[in-house]
Amino acid sequence: MLWVYSAVPFLLGCQTVSDTDTADIGTWRLVWSDEFDGSANTAPDPTVWTHDVGGNGWGNGQLEYNTDRTDNVRLTGEGMLEIVAQREEYEGNAYTSGRIKTQGLWTGGYGRYEARIQLPEGQGVWPAFWMLGADFDTVGWPTCGEVDILEMRGDNPYEVHGTIHGPGYSGGESIGGSLTSDQSFVDDFHVFRVDIDPEHIAWYVDDQLYFTARSGETGGMPWVFDDQYFLLLNVAVGGNYLDNPTDETQFPVSMLVDYVRFYERVQ
C-alpha cells in the first residue's frame, strides 16, 4: 500500500502493547474500552455513551438531524457499533444520523486513544472520531481544545485527516495533517489513533505515523491539550467542511466501529 503524508493547516483524540519507533517509545496498558458487545438493534451502553440530539447544523452548517433512535445508532449483535446516516425528512431536516459521546460519563488524559473503524463514502458524507476538552461546557470551543483523531470527506475515500483546534488556530486556521493511500479507506477496517503526551500529539493509521503536532508550533497561541477529554463518534451529512450530497449520493451509509480503547503509558 502506498502512503502519502502531508502536514498542513486545513479546515474544519490489562493488555499491554510495546512499540519501538522513535515517536512512540514505551509500554502501554489498556485501561478502558468499549468492545460494543450486545444484542442486535440495541443502543450502545448508556453508562458509557450519551447522544447529541438535534438538527441545528452543529456549528458547521451540517444538514442532518442527529437522533437517539436505533435506526441511526445501534449495536450489530456481532461486536460492533453502527452509525447510520439516512436520507429522510425528520424534524425539518432532510437527513438523519447519529452522534454519540462519553461526555459526563468518561474522560481520559495523556495516553493512546484508538478505534478500529470501517468508513462510509459518498459526496456529503463526513465520518469522524474525535475528542473535546472536558471543560467544554465552562470555557467553550475552541478554548477547550478539539482533537480530530479521524475525519474523512466521503467523496475522497483515499485520504484521511487529523487536526487540532484551539484558541487562535481553529476552523480554517486549524493545525493538521493528512494521509493519502492508493487503497480506499472504506474497503476494510483500519485502526485510527492518537498518542497524547505532554506538549505533543501524534496521529497514526494502522501503526503508521503520519503527523505530529507540538506545543511550540501554535504561532504563540496557547496549547490546550494537557487536560482531560471526552470522545465522540458521528457521521455528519454536508456542512462547510465538504460539498453537500447530490442525488447520486447513495444512502443509507454506515460507519462500523469494532472497538474504542484507551491506553496509558507504563514507565
176-208 per-residue burial string, b: 16 or more CB within 10 A, e: under 16: bbbbebeeebbeebbbbbbbbbeebbbbbbeee
- Quote the pLDDT of residue 19: 36
**Measured CA angle at 202 (ends 181, 205), to 5 deg:** 30
Is residue 19 exposed (0-12), middle (13-18) or buried (19+ Cβ within 10 Å)? middle
Full-model pTM: 0.91
- Quote the pLDDT of residue 152: 98
According to DSSP, residue 216 is labeled G
Q: What is the CATH number of the domain that holds 258?
A: 2.60.120.200
- Quote the pLDDT of residue 23: 39
| Dist CA 188 CA 118 (whole Å) | 6
φ, ψ for residue 184 (rounded to 5)? -65, 140
- Quote the pLDDT of residue 5: 45
Contact between residue 68 and residue 197 where contact means Cβ atoms under 8 Å apart: no
| Dist CA 190 CA 206 (whole Å) | 6
| H or E stretch at 3 | strand 3-7
Residue 89's domain comprises: 3-266
According to DSSP, residue 137 is labeled H
- Quote the pLDDT of residue 211: 98
In 3D space, the residue among 192, 161, 163, 195 whose CA is nearest the CA of residue 178 turns out to be 161
Cell of 22: 522513535
Domain tally, the chain: 1
Please identify which residue in the block is written with the cell numbers 522513535: 22
Digit-by-digit pLDDT tens for the chain (267 residues) are 444 545 444 333 222 233 333 334 468 999 999 999 999 999 999 999 999 999 999 999 999 999 999 999 999 999 999 999 999 999 999 999 999 999 999 999 999 999 999 999 999 999 999 999 999 999 999 999 999 999 999 999 999 999 999 999 999 999 999 999 999 999 999 999 999 999 999 999 999 999 999 999 999 999 999 999 999 999 999 999 999 999 999 999 999 999 999 999 987
- Quote the pLDDT of residue 208: 96
Q: Return the active site residues.
A: 146, 151
| Dist CA 12 CA 69 (whole Å) | 27
- Quote the pLDDT of residue 68: 98
Amino acid at 261: R
